[in-house]
């Protein structure tokens, strides 16, 4: 135990668990008197503490009425943080490279290439003429203006603000349109998978993650090209000594690439709030409370004490147990269902909710500023399709879909995250997901033997938030629930696990697993419908400052050729060698598109910004009014992928009514 630490000492006496005791010794001499400060403020004198070595102490306890005790000792930092990074969390942020604006000619050519599998030869030839006119006319002026505007915004990039607008101005419901879900694997210890124990451990680990992030002790997000050489103590020492303005360049010398972390600041204590025309993202990093939902009711309690420290795990256990045992029936008119509505409907309802009773506004603010939402469900899905339905949308009652993210835990302890998409992409959420999964298992604070605190009155500490509703709000809630039920009942969800081929098999054959998966999707759709359609795959651009995503277009001339050869009306007899050649060609093309997208050289975001700039200037632009542009952006196959040992299932709904969401 180092002398610089503040110690948290937890005493166990037989079956009774005592509160946490904070000891802050002043090591000014070899002998000092010290006190344990109890939760109620009472002091209990300890025996003398003897300094044995500069780096160690021996503590002799003589606490009256605390006989035959065992002691577990945590340093304060160990209790409050996941880890303490040598490199400050945002150390690389200032020197991250800026997202490049592609050359207009290249974006136009990439756009035409993406249209090849979707159009006939005659249609494509006609489109080439329209694109050429834009490229040599309006496009040149818009490109120049875009470049000049970008030069004035050094702290962001040319896409970021417009991308926020795209999400926040979308008037469709966030559920089934934007919010995805990711399901955790179970805790490998079956006895820890009860709802109460897992919720307690994951809540504590989540707040530990939050504090580690807030105090900039979280290890920065870095992609190591060769981890054996760069993910080292030397790398951390050298880059931490460099000023932030140069730190990225130092990392680059190690062939390590720091990633943008600007989205992390909206991970906690933030919420999307419905507004006319454009929603608002609000955040309050000073809030200390967690929002817990059960049966559509809202409960809050502080997870941090007045000094900003995490409350004892026995108190967390006590509060969650109190909530789970609350016999109050589900509300007849659950306010939470309003977050499933079209945004304009929800905007009007929110105003009316505040007008119905001024206290409703403060209650809404409390919900919106909570650290995050913990949703405790009363049922337990057992098969993949049921798990997907539960965590993608559930019953619409025990959710607040506008929160930055919701940690959902079912009756049997299955856990998942559902997150609102406007504030960020999967980068920050997946980091949170992995860290919390690992920490809640490796550093469990609550075990099956842990008992709730006898020192805390959860009935007083936990507050239930009830809303006053008028007839208009009640009617709006009823309609919202009916619309939600209709929308979700019409959604088909199917889970497929294919085990006859692995990533390793594909890599051994020098094929990209992602490209083969994308080809399989194209083949399946073509076999069913006989056509190639607009397809989307998300690619992160987090290697750049405030990078979000770029689109990869997996439907290519290479995949079209494979589809026609195998399932076309004039399908060809294809040998194994020809099939392998086709597979490798698909991989080559797909890998190139992915590389271009990740390096900020895709065409979708570039054309999106030029289109928005032209509309702002009041221009009529034939290229963007052309049916081919609408067709390629009517996404029938929306795809995304992530992989990690902590992930069981993930997914999202289709982005169009006649489409598929595949992930």
Strand segments (E) across 278-437: 280-283, 289-294, 297-302, 373-376, 405-409, 415-419
pLDDT, tens only, 310-361: 999 999 999 999 999 999 999 999 999 999 999 999 999 999 999 999 999 9
Closest C-alpha to 6, from 75, 55, 78: 75
pLDDT band at 402, cuts 50/70/90? very high
Mean pLDDT of 27-35: 33
Domains and CATH numbers, the chain: 7-80 (no CATH), 104-170+501-662 (3.30.559.10), 181-216+267-333+360-467 (3.30.559.70)
pLDDT, tens only, 612-658: 999 999 999 999 999 999 999 999 999 998 889 999 999 999 999 99
Kindly state the DSSP code that residue 304 receives in the 8-state scheme: B
* SS3 of the chain: helix, strand, coil, percent, to 5: 45, 15, 40
More confident residue, 50 or 239: 239
Amino acid 48: pLDDT: 34
pLDDT at 57 over 90: no
Amino acid 583: pLDDT: 94
pLDDT at 482 over 80: yes
pLDDT at 21 over 70: no
* Cα 550 to chain centroid, rounded: 17
Q: What is the 3-state secondary structure (H, E, C) of 576-632?
A: HHHHHHHHHHHHHHHHHHHHHHHCCCCCHHHHHHHHHHHHHCCCCCHHHHCHHHHHH
Kindly state the DSSP code that residue 340 receives in the 8-state scheme: G
pLDDT at 71 over 50: no
pLDDT band at 573, cuts 50/70/90? low
Mean pLDDT of 590-599: 98
Residue identified by tokens 């809540």 is 203
Mean pLDDT rounded to a whole number for the chain: 90
Say if CB 547 and CB 632 are below 8 A apart.
no
pLDDT, tens only, 178-224: 999 999 999 999 999 999 999 999 999 999 999 999 999 999 999 99
pLDDT, tens only, 450-465: 999 999 999 999 999 9
Distance CA 143, CA 30 (A): 72
Say if CB 85 and CB 219 are below 8 A apart.
yes
pLDDT, tens only, 245-299: 999 999 999 999 999 999 999 999 999 999 999 999 999 999 999 999 999 999 9
pLDDT at 65 over 50: no
Distance CA 168, CA 65 (A): 60
pLDDT at 134 over 50: yes
pLDDT, tens only, 519-557: 999 999 999 999 999 999 999 999 999 999 999 999 999
191-223 residues labelled b (16+ CB within 10 A) or e (exposed): ebbbbbbbbbbbbbbbbbbbbbbbeebbbbbbe
Strand, helix or coil for residue 357: coil
Residue 343 parent element (H or E): helix 343-356
Task: List residues with catalytic annotation.
Answer: 421
Say if CB 376 and CB 195 are below 8 A apart.
yes
CB atoms within 10 A of CB 341: 26
67-100 residues labelled b (16+ CB within 10 A) or e (exposed): eeeeeeebeebbbbbbeebebbbbbbbebbbbbe
Amino acid 176: pLDDT: 96
């Amino acid at each position: 135990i180092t002398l610089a630490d503040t110690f948290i000492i937890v005493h166990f006496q037989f079956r009774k668990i005592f509160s946490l005791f904070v000891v802050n010794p002043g090591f000014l001499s070899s002998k000092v008197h010290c006190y344990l400060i109890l939760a109620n403020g009472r002091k209990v004198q300890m025996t003398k503490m003897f300094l044995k070595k500069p780096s160690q102490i021996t503590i002799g306890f003589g606490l009256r009425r605390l006989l035959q005790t065992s002691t577990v000792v945590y340093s304060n930092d160990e209790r409050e943080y996941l880890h303490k990074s040598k490199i400050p969390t945002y150390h690389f942020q200032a020197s991250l490279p800026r997202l490049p604006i592609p050359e207009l000619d290249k974006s136009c050519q990439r756009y035409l290439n993406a249209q090849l599998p979707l159009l006939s030869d005659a249609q494509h030839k006609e489109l080439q003429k329209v694109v050429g006119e834009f490229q040599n006319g309006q496009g040149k002026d818009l490109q120049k203006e875009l470049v000049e505007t970008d030069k004035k915004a050094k702290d962001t990039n040319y896409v970021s603000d417009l991308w926020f607008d795209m999400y926040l101005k979308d008037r469709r419901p966030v559920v089934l349109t934007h919010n995805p879900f990711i399901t955790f694997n179970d805790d490998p210890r079956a006895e820890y998978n009860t709802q109460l124990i897992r919720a307690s451990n994951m809540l504590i680990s989540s707040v530990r993650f939050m504090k580690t992030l807030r105090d900039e002790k979280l290890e920065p997000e870095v992609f190591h090209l060769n981890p054996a050489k760069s993910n080292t103590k030397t790398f951390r020492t050298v880059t931490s000594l460099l000023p932030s303005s140069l730190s990225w360049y130092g990392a680059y010398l190690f062939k390590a690439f720091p990633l943008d972390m600007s989205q992390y600041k909206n991970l906690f204590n933030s919420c999307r709030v419905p507004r006319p025309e454009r929603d608002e993202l609000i955040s309050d990093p000073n809030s200390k409370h967690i929002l817990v939902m059960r049966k559509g009711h809202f409960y809050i309690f502080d997870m941090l004490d007045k000094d900003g420290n995490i409350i004892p795990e026995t108190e967390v256990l006590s509060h969650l147990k109190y909530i789970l045992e609350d016999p109050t029936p589900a509300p007849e008119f659950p306010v939470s269902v309003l977050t499933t509505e079209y945004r304009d409907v929800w905007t009007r309802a929110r105003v009316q909710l505040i007008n119905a009773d001024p206290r409703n506004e403060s209650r809404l603010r409390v919900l919106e500023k909570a650290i995050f939402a913990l949703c405790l469900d009363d049922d337990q899905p057992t098969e993949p399709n049921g798990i997907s339905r539960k965590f993608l949308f559930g019953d619409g009652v025990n959710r607040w879909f506008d929160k930055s993210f919701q940690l959902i835990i079912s009756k049997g302890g299955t856990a998942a995250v559902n997150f609102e998409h406007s504030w960020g992409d999967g980068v920050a959420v997946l980091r949170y997901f992995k860290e919390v999964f690992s920490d809640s298992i490796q550093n469990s604070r609550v075990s099956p033997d842990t008992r709730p605190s006898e020192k805390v009155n959860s009935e007083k500490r936990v507050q239930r938030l009830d809303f006053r509703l008028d007839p208009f709000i009640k009617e709006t809630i009823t309609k919202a629930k009916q619309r939600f039920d209709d929308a979700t009942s019409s959604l088909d969800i199917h889970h497929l696990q294919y085990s006859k081929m692995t990533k390793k098999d594909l890599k051994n054959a020098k094929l990209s697993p992602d490209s083969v998966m994308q080809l399989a999707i194209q083949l399946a759709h073509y076999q069913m419908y006989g056509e190639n359609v607009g397809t989307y795959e998300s690619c992160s651009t987090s290697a750049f400052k405030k990078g979000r995503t770029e689109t990869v277009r997996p439907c290519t001339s290479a995949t079209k050729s494979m589809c026609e050869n195998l399932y076309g009306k004039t399908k060809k007899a294809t040998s194994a060698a020809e099939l392998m050649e086709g597979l490798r060609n698909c991989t080559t093309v797909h890998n190139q598109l992915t590389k271009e997208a990740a390096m900020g050289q895709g065409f979708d975001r570039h054309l999106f910004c030029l289109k928005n700039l032209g509309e702002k200037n009041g221009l009529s632009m034939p290229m963007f009014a052309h049916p081919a542009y609408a067709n390629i952006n009517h996404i029938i196959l929306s795809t995304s992928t992530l992989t990690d040992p902590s992930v069981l299932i993930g997914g999202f709904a289709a982005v169009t009514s006649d489409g598929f969401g595949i992930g």
